[in-house]
């Protein structure tokens, strides 16, 4: 499997998360300054130097659980609060959207164009804040450097790695169902029409050659589809027309997006791999997570005046109902690492919280963060 898939997975999922949060903040009429703060805080943390350094190292993809934990952290890196059900829904939407984009990419290399679409919009979100914009620009440069020289075979491997990560996820998303890009069973529609990928010819032509290389015969066959010639190639520069619409922001304020759990009820005989119990993450993974999240700034959660809650559902009742009725096999099993008002009581927890950099604090060095986190898990 590819050791270069993680940065693309993270950036694209992060991009989708920002699209959705931006839509919810506007739909819930959160005051502009607060909304801006949330977006800025999250983007700052997403593109922090040491955080990304860790991410860009050649490595396997994180497990689903580990990645979900990272995004939980990221979503709470500001004054915004999300309940469990809303966070679950947010993550469902993020992952299904990116799965759709990876699957529909005409060429494997187009995954990079999808990533650049996300980067372009993220830059737009922070265009008024030069300090954050430069962080994003820096990362974009890194992406260009790291990925534009890869061969199509290497991109295909990245694509396969990502598809395996998303395998068996079939949550139905209302926007996708309405636009007829997803079927009622959760599978995405793969059209046999439209432009072929850049570099591919419309199927139908057979050419045969003599030993000297001259074309001897031409034949046509029916390709069974309705294809058109390829569009022009998207730009892989820092700025440019990406051509593909995959990865652009499909959410507008008016379109409330629903998700529907596929018919995998508790009575269903069809079971995908279920990982329900709050198993502690393997020590290695915890070490990695600690390193990663050590770089994330945490807002002191006690600031009651400015913090507010965002709901991914239309009403609070809906949100509550969603939490109760979530099917077993769709539980993410995330262990919430959150500082609570019992912080004083839980000395172990306090020690861990101290490892994360808070504004104005220096993080003390720790011998084995993995051990600490594991010990904390046992105590939960």
Partner 1 sequence: MSLIGGEAVGANAFCSLPSRDLLVVTSQKGIQLWKGTVVAGYGTGQIRLYEAVTGILHAEVNAHARWIYSLDIAPYSGLLLSAAEDSLVRVWQLIMTPESQSVEIAHLHNECVTDTQICGAKFCDADGYAFAVTGYDLTHLPPPAICPAACRTRHSQPTQAFHNPGISGLPRQKSG
Name the residues that contact partner 1, by CB under 8 A.
Answer: 103, 106-108, 151-154, 156-157, 163, 167-168, 170, 180, 183, 185, 187-192, 196-197, 199-211, 213, 217, 219, 221-225, 227, 270
The three-point CA angle 306-310-314 to 5° equals: 145
Min separation Cβ 168 and partner 1, Å: 7
Cα-only R_g, the chain:
23
Min separation Cβ 220 and partner 1, Å: 9
Write out the two tokens for 21: 């949060």
Give 152 or 368: the residue with its C-beta nearer to partner 1.
152
In this structure, the number of other CB atoms found within 10 A of the CB of residue 43 comes to 24
At a CB cut-off of 8 Å and minimum separation 6, what does 314 contact?
Answer: 256
Give 110 or 319: the residue with its C-beta nearer to partner 1.
110
Min separation Cβ 172 and partner 1, Å: 13
DSSP assignment of 60-116 equals: PPPPHHHHHHHHHHHHTSSSEEE-HHHHHHHHHHHHHHHHHHHHH-SSTTHHHHHHH
Give 154 or 285: the residue with its C-beta nearer to partner 1.
154
Write out the two tokens for 47: 């593109």
Q: What is the C-alpha separation between 21 and 215, in angstroms, rounded?
A: 57
Contacts of the segment 51-55: beta carbons below 8 A, 24+ positions apart? 51/292, 51/295, 51/296, 52/7, 52/139, 52/142, 54/288, 54/291, 54/292, 54/295, 55/6, 55/7, 55/10, 55/292
Min separation Cβ 64 and partner 1, Å: 16
Q: What is the C-alpha separation between 258 and 19, in angstroms, rounded?
A: 15
Min separation Cβ 205 and partner 1, Å: 5
Min separation Cβ 175 and partner 1, Å: 16
Give 221 or 239: the residue with its C-beta nearer to partner 1.
221
Half-sphere exposure of 65 (CA within 13 A, CB side): 18
Min separation Cβ 230 and partner 1, Å: 10
Min separation Cβ 202 and partner 1, Å: 7
Give 157 or 373: the residue with its C-beta nearer to partner 1.
157
Min separation Cβ 281 and partner 1, Å: 26
Give 193 or 365: the residue with its C-beta nearer to partner 1.
193
At a CB cut-off of 8 Å and minimum separation 6, what does 48 contact?
Answer: 135, 295, 296, 297
Question: Does residue 96 contact residue 262 with C-beta atoms inside 8 Å?
Answer: no
Give 80 or 111: the residue with its C-beta nearer to partner 1.
111
Q: What is the C-alpha separation between 297 and 244, in angstroms, rounded?
A: 34
Min separation Cβ 179 and partner 1, Å: 11
Give 203 or 354: the residue with its C-beta nearer to partner 1.
203
Question: Does residue 172 contact residue 118 with C-beta atoms inside 8 Å?
Answer: no
Residue 226 backbone phi and psi in degrees, to 5: -135, 70
Give 222 or 254: the residue with its C-beta nearer to partner 1.
222
Give 219 or 341: the residue with its C-beta nearer to partner 1.
219
What is the separation, in whole angstroms, between the first and last Cα of the chain? 34
Q: What is the C-alpha separation between 374 and 279, in angstroms, rounded?
A: 11
Report DSSP state, residue 216: E
Half-sphere exposure of 188 (CA within 13 A, CB side): 20
């Amino acid at each position: 499997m590819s050791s270069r898939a993680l940065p693309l997975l993270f950036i694209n999922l992060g991009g989708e998360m920002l699209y959705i949060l931006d839509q919810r903040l506007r739909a819930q009429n959160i005051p502009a300054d607060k909304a801006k703060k949330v977006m800025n805080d999250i983007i700052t943390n997403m593109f922090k130097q040491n955080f990304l350094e860790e991410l860009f190292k050649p490595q396997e993809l994180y497990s689903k659980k580990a990645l979900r934990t990272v995004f939980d952290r990221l979503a709470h890196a500001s004054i915004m609060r999300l309940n469990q059900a809303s966070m679950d829904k947010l993550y469902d939407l993020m992952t299904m959207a990116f799965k759709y984009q990876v699957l529909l990419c005409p060429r494997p290399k187009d995954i990079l164009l999808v990533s650049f679409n996300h980067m372009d919009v993220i830059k737009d979100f922070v265009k008024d804040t030069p300090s954050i914009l430069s962080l994003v620009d820096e990362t974009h440069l890194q992406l260009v450097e790291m990925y534009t020289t890869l061969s199509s075979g290497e991109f295909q491997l990245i694509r396969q790695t990502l598809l395996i990560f998303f395998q068996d996820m079939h949550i139905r998303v209302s926007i996708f169902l309405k636009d007829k890009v997803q079927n009622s069973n959760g599978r995405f529609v793969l059209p046999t029409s439209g432009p072929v990928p850049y570099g591919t010819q419309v199927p139908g032509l057979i050419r045969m050659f003599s030993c000297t290389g001259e074309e001897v015969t031409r034949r046509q066959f029916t390709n069974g589809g309705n294809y058109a010639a390829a569009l022009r190639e998207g730009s892989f520069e820092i700025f440019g027309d990406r051509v593909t619409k995959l990865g652009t922001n499909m959410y507008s304020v008016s379109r409330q997006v629903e998700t529907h759990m596929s018919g995998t009820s508790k009575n269903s005989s069809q079971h995908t791999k279920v990982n329900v119990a709050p198993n502690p993450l393997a020590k290695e993974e915890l070490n990695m997570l600690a390193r990663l999240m050590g770089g994330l700034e945490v807002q002191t959660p006690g600031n009651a005046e400015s913090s507010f809650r965002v709901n991914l559902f239309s009403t609070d009742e809906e949100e509550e109902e969603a939490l109760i009725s979530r099917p077993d096999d769709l539980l993410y099993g995330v262990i919430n690492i959150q500082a609570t008002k019992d912080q004083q009581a839980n000395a172990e927890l306090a020690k861990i919280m101290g490892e994360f950099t808070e504004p104005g604090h220096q993080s003390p060095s720790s011998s084995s963060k993995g051990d600490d986190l594991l010990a904390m898990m046992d105590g939960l």
